[in-house]
Every structure is written in structure tokens, then in C-alpha cells.
Amino acid sequence: MKHFEDMWEDKDRITFFLEGWEPEDSKPKALVLLIHGLGEYITRYAHVGRALSDAGYALIGFDLRGHGRSGGPRGHSSSLDAYMQDIRQFSQRTESKYPGVPRFIYGHSLGGLLALVYAIQHGTQFKGVVATGPALRSSLQEQRAKVALVRLLGAILPSVTVHSGLDAATISRDTAVVEAYKNDALIHYNTSLGFGKAALSAIDFCFAHAGEFPVPLLIMHGKADKIAYASGSEEFAELVRRSGKDVTLKLWDSLYHEVHNEPEKEEVFRYMIAWLDGHL
């Protein structure tokens, strides 16, 4: 497996960190663009990169603005459009590195939500979309005081930051994963009101435009996910299915939020790779 890193700077002088994994001695049969979740960063997917590169794929992702080794205030985005612009720049950079190679987009949690929005807007360039634990219906939405604050002040005071309320113990049943998460200096629990407004806009957009989903879709969700609820994935998948589109919903019994970090992760990888192989 080859591992590589890169950086780029956007027009607002925010620096973005990019990281990827690809097969050692052959051209990848497809490229998988990865969008990570809230508060985390791309290096946490190195083992996913190894699994995909062993199967002949290249996995490449970047730290979202305000996350990991990318710049910007922690957990802040001014708008959903800012995220879409960042993903567009990232996609364009990978297109120049891998000209002519088929492409998928894969997002987890917040990244799953953003990948769904981006696919609805620009999805015809991809062979398909993979979303794991997409934050379509989440525990954050149950914090009604914060939601009301976001809707009221998100556009007026976008940089004001609140705690995300995420409980690290609910990301995985693997205690080693949870402890590593708790002790990771690059993990943060910040969400700005601007970010919250962007996330709510993304959820509204997804449900309003589900019937327009342009490419095959795989959604995987742990039934025991207490952060992003499986009911959101079921609801969205049904809307896509009603429009006659190719959608696969895989619900995993007993798995928590990070299905790629559960004890059953190898089974999850095999299922995802089989789906990718079937949609090349």
C-alpha cells in the first residue's frame, strides 16, 4: 500500500490537509473520495484505506475546515455552500491526479450527510455513493435549546461555539477505539452556530431532493447507533427508492455509530467492497 499526504490553500487562505492510500504496484480500479465526521479527521480512516487498497481501490480524503490538520476555527463553517466549495476543490484535485479513473464518494456521519448533498448537486461524475451513519436524524437534533439557538442566531452570530454533546462511549463497542478517541489531541467537541445552521440546511436539502438522487447509493447504519439514528437512513432510502433509483440500505444489528470501527469491521469492509465492485 502507498500512503501520501498533501496540502492546498483556498481563496480565503484556509489550508487543507489531504491524505490517501492506494495499491502499491498497480493503477487503482477506482478512486473513493472520503468525507469524515464531525470533530474527527481523515487519518482515523487509515485502516479503511488499507482494506480498500488491498481490494484494488484508492481511498483519499481531506480534513474538513475547522478539523484535524486543516485550518479554520474548530468546528466552524459559515454555510453549507462553504462545505460544498471545499469538497468541489478536493474533488477537482483528485481528478487531476487520477484522470480517467472511475470515482465514488464515501462519507461518514456529518461526512455522510455532506456526501449526500454533494451527490445530489454534482453526483453524475460518480459511479456511486457510500454513506455510513449519515447524520440525517441525530441526537443533536434532540437538544432543542441548541437547535432553537442555531435557527435564531446561526446567521447573526455564526462563529459562537457550543459543545457538540457527543458521548465518545457511543462511537464503538470496541473500548480501545473509544479510549484512543478520548485521548486524541486532534479530536474536538466544538460546533459553531454557523456549523449548526449548515447542518440543518443539509438535512432539509437531502429530504427535499431525495427523489433526485442521480447515482447508485449504499447506506450502511448500525441499528444501535445513538448519535445518528438509523431511522434517518431508512426514511431517506425509502424516498430514493420510491423514485425508482438504485439504493441499498444495510442495517447492522447491534453496531454503534462508527461501523468501520466496530469489532465486525472486516465484515463491513467486505460488504462495502462487494458493493463497489458491483457498481464499477
CB 188 within 8 A of CB 165: no
Question: Could you give the angle at which helices 80-97 and 110-122 cross, rounded to 10 degrees?
Answer: 70
Residues 99 and 214: their CA atoms lie apart, in Å, by 22
- The Cα 264–Cα 223 span in angstroms is 13
- Tally the residues of the chain: 280
Written in H, E and C, the secondary structure of the chain is CEEEEEEEECCCCCEEEEEEEECCCCCCCEEEEEECCCCCCHHHHHHHHHHHHHCCEEEEEECCCCCCCCCCCCCCCCCHHHHHHHHHHHHHHHHHHCCCCCEEEEEECHHHHHHHHHHHHHHHHCCEEEEECCCCCEHHHHCHHHHHHHHHHCCCCCCCEEECCCCHHHCCCCHHHHHHHHCCCCCCCEEEHHHHHHHHHHHHHHHHHHHHCCCCEEEEEECCCCCECHHHHHHHHHHHHHCCCCEEEEEECCCCCCHHHCCCHHHHHHHHHHHHHHCC
Cell triple for 197: 445552521
Catalytic residues: 109, 225, 257
